Amino acid sequence: MRDIISRDGTISADTWVVVPRPADGDALSIPDQPALIPADLWLAGKEHFEGRDGIGVWFDSHDEPEILDGLVNELKLIAVNFPKFSDGRGYSIARLLRERFGYQNELRAIGDVLLDQLQFMKRCGFDSYALREDKDATKAARSLSFFSQGYQAATDTDMPLFRRRAS
């Protein structure tokens, strides 16, 4: 089971299952435990999931988070997949979910999540990270805390350094 790292570096066990996108023509099979399903499929079967606990959604890096505009806070957990650590689209998706669509609940990075991405993920609004299993979760707290400040405004702060300097 993967370790889930939180924003302050604490480690917990992952209770969620990521349900992969079914092949064309196949039905979505949802296990009997908290499950993340592809966001567009949740949207398509939204009525079906109403009132059911333990359903979250995930976006792949090429997906458009715009499809959930206005609905994001109906979800307790949204995950964004990093198919490859060098694929940076997930950072933009996270900022849009938080800053444009006002998502308030847990936002999780899944997939090829390595220690050195955590600082960027945190600033872009992710608050939990499913660290890749071969990486040492005890080092996450350190990776999250190298920088005590940044130059830009992002999801974590609406005060870029040039505004903090002025105040």
Partner 1 sequence: MYVYDEHDRQIAAERVTQFRDQTERALAGELSEEEFLPLRLQNGLYVQRLAPMLRICVPYGMLRSDQLRRLARITRDYDKGYAHFTTRQNVQLNWPALEDVPDILSELAEVEMHANQTSGNCIRNTTTDQFSGVQVDEVVDPRPYCEIIRQWSTFHPEFAFLPRKFKVAVNASENTDRAAIQVHDIGLQMVRNDQGELGYRVHVGGGLGRTPMVGPVIREFLPELDLLTYLEAVLRVYNRYGRRDNKFKARIKILVKALTPEGFAEKVESEWAHIKDSPTRLTREAIERIQGYFTEPAYEAMDNASERLASQRFENRRFDQWLSHNVDSHKKPGYAIVTLTMKKTGTPPGDVSDTQLEQIAELAEAFSFGEVRVTHQQNVVLADVRQDQLFELWQQIEPMGFATANLNTLTDVICCPGGDYCALANAKSIPVAESIQRRFDDMDFLYDLGDIDLNISGCMNACGHHHVGNIGVLGVDKKGAEFYQVSLGGSSHHDATIGKILGPSFAQDDMPEVIAKIIDVYVNNRKDEEPFLETYRRIGIEPFKERVYA
Decide: is 138 part of the binding site for partner 1 (CB under 8 A). Answer: no
Distance between CA atoms of 99 and 17, rounded to whole angstroms? 26
Nearer to partner 1, 22 or 160 (CB): 160
Interface pick for partner 1 out of 14, 28, 74, 89 (rule CB under 8 A):
89
Q: C-beta of 66: minimal distance to partner 1 in Å?
A: 11
Interface pick for partner 1 out of 67, 95, 106, 141 (rule CB under 8 A):
95
- What is the chain written as a DSSP string? --EEEETTS-EEE---EEPPPPPTTPPP---SS-EEEEHHHHHHTHHHHTT-SSEEEEE-TTS-GGGGTTTGGG-SEEEEEESSTT-THHHHHHHIIIIIT---SEEEEEES--GGGHHHHHHTT--EEE--TTS-GGGHHHHTSS-S--SS--SS-S--HHHHHH-
Interface pick for partner 1 out of 42, 91, 103, 129 (rule CB under 8 A):
91
Decide: is 68 part of the binding site for partner 1 (CB under 8 A). Answer: no
Interface pick for partner 1 out of 17, 28, 119, 141 (rule CB under 8 A):
119
Decide: is 39 part of the binding site for partner 1 (CB under 8 A). Answer: no
Of 9-17, 31-39, 50-58, 121-129, which segment contacts partner 1 by CB under 8 A?
Answer: 121-129
* Binding residues vs partner 1 (CB under 8 A): 85-89, 91-93, 95, 100, 114, 116-117, 119-124, 136, 142, 146-154, 158-166
